Structure 1
Amino acid sequence: MFKLVITVSLKKELPLQWLKDRGLTILTTQAIESGALKGLDTKKIKDPLIVVTGVGPQQANRAAKAIATNLTPLFVLHIGTCGILRKDLPLRKWLRPRWLSSSCSEELLMIDPRIPLPVYTDLTDIRLHEVSRPFRGSLDGIDAVDMECYSQARVFKQAGISFHALKFGTDYADHNRDNQYHESLPVLHDAIKQLFSFLDGQFAGEDVSVVIPVYNRPDLVKRAIDSVLNQSLSPGEIIVVDDGSTDNTWEVLKNYKNPIRAIRLEENLGPSAARNKGVLESTGRWIAFLDSDDYWKEDKIERQLEYLKRYPYFEILQSEEIWIRNGKRVNPCKHHKKPEGWAWEPSLRRCLISPSGVMMKRDIFFRYGPFREDFPVCEDYDLWLKITRGHPVGLEPSFTVVKYGGHGDQLSRRYPAMDRFRVKSLFEQFEREPYPEFREKLKEVINEKLKILYKGYKKRSRWEDVKWCEQIWQRIGYEKVLVENL
């Protein structure tokens, strides 16, 4: 029902009417326990759900258990206030709890630093300590105090629900605490409005630019273009980039009129360059990609925009696909199941996001892109890896994309050792990753893929490539003796 649940301690810490005016459901813990969720119209509800928990560890624990029992969210985000114990931290700014402790437990919790909302301000990581009553003073090694985050984190950890937190420093936990808190509330309301500004997003067909790269596929690209022209909700523009075709593809494209914009590259530069050119020429706030050998069912755009209206915090989403191989429909393996929510870790070993199913904000593309033009393959894997590290991915469940494979001109057939490009992408992300738990996950997958490449290179006496593998191992911290024992 709800994919994102927001928890907050007190109604007075929310711009309540502003949120209600934008269609959000706000419930108390007691309402959830009493079955209020059953009375909601599931076709009309809008994410996220806001749960007012009440103050203190016991109330926080109770609320978290009610959520875990009655809902199956992808993630829970706790938003609340805190008293700052370090005077070098500014008041009235968002802080990101990274380590949680409690007066009632010796266990130190470390929570996921990612935020499942569009947040583009710098956040300071803090150690947050939970107390059972209002606190004044200082604590060694503690940056801030609150009365609820630890208790919620512990419940959601046990339930296997992704938990995240943002705290707003309202006071310095000193003699002036109460005055500072009340003076900070209007600022907090404005900060929440800014944080939830995605609720005012517009999702209309004219906001979508479709980008189709093509090389030497005159018949297939016609099918792809026609599938976009036949959409139940028309996009604002369709940009087709001919990547230096040597057959009659350009002649086919020239026959199309508005809303088709055909662009011709003078030479064959690859799908990355063609997609990048299409996005640069686009004007829509949302970009939808379509490979020239695939096509869309007639309601693909409409269903994706309906999904975004219901879950407006997603900045990238994809649709489910029908797979056709050598002219026959096939069922994808379980390990190709498309993830929803945090897609980064499931996508490390293989690409689980298909360009033809993707719709993404144009701003996101330019923040993390473009597609790498030095990668002949796996250019999409590389970009999705960068984006999904900090952004959840929506999944519109309708099978509105028809994806074809098995034909001879697919680039994947010309590059059987595609994992070399994946390793390069993984290693570059490893080098810039600040958080140790994410570095360890990258390290594990790099090692798995390097083992396979290394054995193949040694078997074929490709000694320069063997040396490259050894250098990567060394850079990620593997001892040479471990490499030599493979």
Structure 2
Amino acid sequence: MNTIQFTVVIPLYNKSECIVRALQSVHAQHHQAAEIIVVDDGSTDDSPQKVIDLGLPNLRLVRQTNQGVSAARNKGVKAASSDYVAFLDADDTWSPFFLARMAELVQRFPQAGLFASRYQKVLDNGEYIDAKIALTNWAPEGYEMDNYFEVAANGDLPFTMSSLVVDKTTFNQLGGFPVGEWMGEDQSFYVQAALKSRIAYSPAIESFYFLGAPGSACDKAPPTQLCPFAERLLSAIKNGEVAHTAMAHKYVATHICDLAKRNIKHRLYGQALQLLANPVARAKPLHWSAYLMLSVCRSTLSRVSFGLIR
């Protein structure tokens, strides 16, 4: 198993409060990484210096001007010397057995291009909670996931960027991460992997996704239109490139309803209604109807309140 080598790629931008924690979880792996590449995406805090001060022998710090997380990940993969690349966000951590679990999946499913595990979410108060993943298979030794859209449409995504490994050849065939998109770069990559590659999956929890990171672009300015990955998936469905069209439509509907919920949270009821007007949103009927009613009611109350104040 130790003949399988991994390069760990960590994009870094102003994560002074957590980068050491992430790197320590990599260093604690029972199956040691062949190399760790931290791509500093133009940080303005002391996080790059903390990486240097940690003094890990197999670590390289690569610097670039600020170009976004997709460009940072792409650069890290390009610099990787191993056949398999494991991604870890600077906010997140692994259990000590993550890379060992991934090596087992690589051995068991060599035909796959992407390998991933289940994960837990970590709240601001330090509480660990299971992600609500609608798995259809719980084989402890892992299995090949042929129903990504079904799983992702009925709960949380089955994996995050910090719980997956990709074969470098497959990564290049998929085109890497889209650069310059405002949201959904991760899901864009997942969708491409689901359409064009094979996914090996372990239901064991080996990754920890920390919520509440400061500066979330989605929290500051929720998108008012479908993200590019969803538009591309709808085009693929239209062109007959998707096998399970019903589940793919439901997956996009989940995305639409999530965007509507974000807009409602920010009192952007008109934008929420515009999103919910997309007929694809009805593939999640309960969510669609609930957010539609909530948007209409709150929009009406807002107009009434404004009229009374005037």
So what's the TM-score if we normalise by structure 2?
0.73
The alignment partner of 2:22 has SS state of: helix
Q: 2:65 aligns with which of 253, 266, 269?
A: 266
Higher-RCO chain (CA-CA 8 Å, sequence separation at least 6) = 2
The 3 A distance-change label for structure 1 pair 333 and 439 is closer
1:236 pairs with 2:54: no
Q: CA deviation at 1:239?
A: 0.4
Written as runs of structure 1 = structure 2, the 5 A alignment for 1:29-428 is 204=2, 207-255=5-53, 256-267=55-66, 269-326=67-124, 327-335=126-134, 341-347=145-151, 349=153, 351-417=157-223, 420-421=226-227, 422-428=229-235
Q: Which is richer in strand?
A: 1
Q: State the one-letter code of the partner of 1:312.
A: P
Counterparts of 2:157 and 2:184 in 1: how far apart (Å)? 8
**How many residues are paired up?**
268
Contact 2:16 2:47 in 1 (8 A): yes
* C-alpha distance after superposition, 1:446-484 (max 9, x if no partner): 467557868969x75559x94x988x769xxxxxxxxxx
Task: Decide which structure has the larger Cα Rg and report it.
Answer: 1
Structure 1 residue 334, shift from structure 2 partner? 4.8
Using the TM superposition, give the Cα deviation of residue 296 of structure 1 relative to its aligned residue in structure 2, in angstroms. 1.4
Cα separation, partners in 2 of 1:438 and 1:321, compared to 1, 3 Å: closer
What's the Cα RMSD here? 3.5
Deviations 1:316-356 (A, max 9, x none): 11122232111111232354889851143225536332111
Q: What is the alpha-carbon distance in structure 1 between the residues aligned to residue 203 and residue 106 of structure 2? A: 13
Q: State the Cα distance separating 1:286 from its structure 2 match.
A: 0.4
Matched, 1:430 2:244: no
**SS, match of residue 234 in structure 2:** helix
Whether contact under 8 Å (2:68, 2:180) holds in the other structure is no
Task: Report the Cα distance in structure 1 between the residues aligned to 2:158 and 2:177, rounded to whole angstroms.
Answer: 16
- Contact 1:276-1:370 at 8 Å conserved across structures: yes
Output the amino acid matched with 2:79.
Answer: E
> 2-side partners of 1:418 and 1:210: how far apart?
34
Contact 2:91–2:209 (CA under 8 A) maintained in structure 1? yes
CA–CA separation in structure 2 for the residues paired with 1:328 and 1:305: 29
Cα distance in 2 for partners of 1:439, 1:338 equals 21
Any idea what the Cα deviations from partners look like across 1:96-151, whole Å, max 9, x if unmatched?
xxxxxxxxxxxxxxxxxxxxxxxxxxxxxxxxxxxxxxxxxxxxxxxxxxxxxxxx
CA deviation vs aligned residue, 1:217-242 (integer Å, no higher than 9, x gap): 12311111121122112111110011
The SS at the match of 2:37 is strand
CA distance in 2, matches of 1:270, 1:333: 29
Q: Which residue of structure 1 lines up, in the alignment, with residue 300 of structure 2?
A: none
Structure 2: runs of 5 or more not aligned: 281-295, 297-310
Q: Does the 8 A contact of 1:318 with 1:357 survive in 2?
A: yes
The DSSP-based 3-state class of the residue aligned with 1:218 is: coil
Structure with more of its chain in helix, by fraction? 2
Identity %: 22
Residue type at the aligned position of 1:372: P
Give, in angstroms, the shift of residue 215 of structure 1.
1.1
**C-alpha deviation, 1:244, in angstroms:** 1.0
* Secondary structure in 1 matching 2:148: coil
Give the 3-state SS of the residue equivalent to 2:190 in structure 1.
Answer: helix
Secondary structure of the equivalent of 1:219? Answer: coil
Give, in whole Å, the separation in 1 of the partners of 2:221 and 2:240: 28
1:448 and 1:219 map into 2 onto residues whose CA distance is 33
For structure 1, which runs of at least 5 residues remain unmatched after alignment? Answer: 1-202, 475-485
Going from structure 1 to structure 2, the CA distance change for 1:335 and 1:307 (only over 3 Å counts) comes to: closer
Letter in 2 for 1:264: R
What TM-score do you get using the length of structure 1 for normalisation? 0.48
* 1:208 to partner: Cα distance: 1.0
CA contact (8 A) 1:348 1:442 kept: no
CA distance in 2 between counterparts of 1:445 and 1:427 reads: 10
- Matches of 1:365 and 1:241, distance apart in 2: 17
Shift of 1:294: 0.9
- Distance in 2 (alpha carbons) for counterparts of 1:401 and 1:297: 6
Superposed displacement of residue 371, structure 1: 0.9
Letter in 1 for 2:214: G
Q: What secondary structure sits across from 1:263 in the alignment?
A: strand
